[in-house]
Amino acid sequence: MKKIYFFALASLLWAGAYAGNPDRQGEAGATQLLMNPWAPSAGLHTLNTSYVSGVEAMRLNPAGVSRFAGTQVMLGYANYLQGADISMQAAGVTSKLGKNGALGFSVMSLDFGDIAVTTTEQPEGTGAQLNLSFINVGLTYSHRFENKVSVGITLRGVSEASSDVSSFGFAIDAGVQYVTGEYEEFKFGLSLRNLGSRMSYGGQALATTAPNPDQSADYNLTLQQRAASFEMPSVLNIGASYDFLGAIENQRVTLMANFTANSFSRDELGAGLEYAFREQFTARLGYRTDLDAAAGSEGTFADESPLYNGLSAGVGVKVPLRRGDLSRSFSIDYAFRNTRIYNGTHNIGISLGF
């Protein structure tokens, strides 16, 4: 019955991902939902759908939240496209709930640096700074069935606003992970993310002044412009991984592959490798490419090439707070993702597990 439930959920998620119209590519908004502020998974180019766990699972596959034994607190920071003066900040916490359940809460925001306010009358700037607030908050519940199958769902609120215009919407993420093998070395994961309400902007910035049609009136009218609505960037992730164990004592090598179906952009395919020594030192390497979008190919414009040109790498160090007990530990991780423009994206994060 568990296998039946697993494949039924997988089929449901697959069908939901392809319910949209592929002709709408490039029309989605709220792209902050596609950014990854967590360093461990960023070092793998977010390819670890099959075995991601704890706080960062809320960003990729909520089924992994219940696979972290205990409570985890994580902070993340990313210098997005170094040189663009954009950064990501994130914080999250997960905790066990009962024997097999877990709850998680996360918040992520974007900082766009100093942006001068300009007008048609003052194109060089008014002296004021544009106040932008992009933030999303998620609440996750995950449940594990005797360690073989875990499922999870995240409810997320998305807000994008400036001082005089704003937009708000809700999104849902759902996922499943399956573990098998004598040493639980084979893992499979599937997640569907960013299914939600349409969003649209409103506020005083959309007001405009027009002449009064009443010629006898000596005042103008203020009209409210209606902004077009947009959808969130729904994404389907399908991933698998295999742990090579036992060749050398206290060492693990995990090979993974991941396919991402984007409803509003090109699909992606990637593979990664993670090496761990005693689960205290970890090195990560990933490669991801957009399908049907070879940069520089005939008929392809430069700005249609993938932003991330393939490679990512990362390292992590975990220090046990009690000798021999990694369930209580402090970790620090770093990741770098190479980009076609600017100088790449740098992630750094710290976490505490207990």
Q: What is the DSSP string of 211-257?
A: --S-TT--S-EEEEPPPPPB----EEEEEEEEEEESSSTTEEEEEEE
175 touches 151 (CB < 8 A): yes
Q: What is the total residue count of the chain?
A: 354
CA distances from residue 216 to 213, 220, 222, 223, 337 in whole angstroms, order as listed: 9, 11, 17, 19, 64
316 touches 41 (CB < 8 A): no
3-state secondary structure of 19: coil
Query: What is the rounded distance in angstroms from the CA atom of residue 71 to the CA atom of residue 321?
Result: 14
Predicted local confidence at residue 201, as pLDDT? 92
Locate all alpha helices (DSSP H) within 51-210, ordered by sequence.
57-60
Predicted local confidence at residue 331, as pLDDT? 97
- Burial grade of 217 (CB within 10 A; 0-12, 13-18, 19 or more): exposed
DSSP class of residue 202 equals B
DSSP class of residue 59 equals H
278 touches 252 (CB < 8 A): no
The ranges assigned to domains in the chain are 2-17+27-353
pLDDT < 70 stretches in the chain: 1-26, 246-248, 293-305
The CATH class, in words, for 2-17+27-353 is: mainly beta
Predicted local confidence at residue 297, as pLDDT? 44
Neighbours of 34 (CB within 10 A): 18
CA distances from residue 307 to 81, 290, 295, 299, 303 in whole angstroms, order as listed: 10, 10, 10, 18, 9
54 touches 354 (CB < 8 A): no
Strands (E), 81-132: 86-97, 101-111
pLDDT in tens, 187-242: 999 999 999 989 999 988 888 888 888 878 788 888 888 888 999 999 999 999 99
pLDDT in tens, 268-292: 999 999 999 999 999 999 999 988 7
Predicted local confidence at residue 247, as pLDDT? 59
Q: Which two tokens stand for residue 2?
A: 């568990």
- Name which of 320, 340, 337, 338 is nearest 329 in CA terms: 320
CA 341 to chain centre: 20
Predicted local confidence at residue 25, as pLDDT? 65
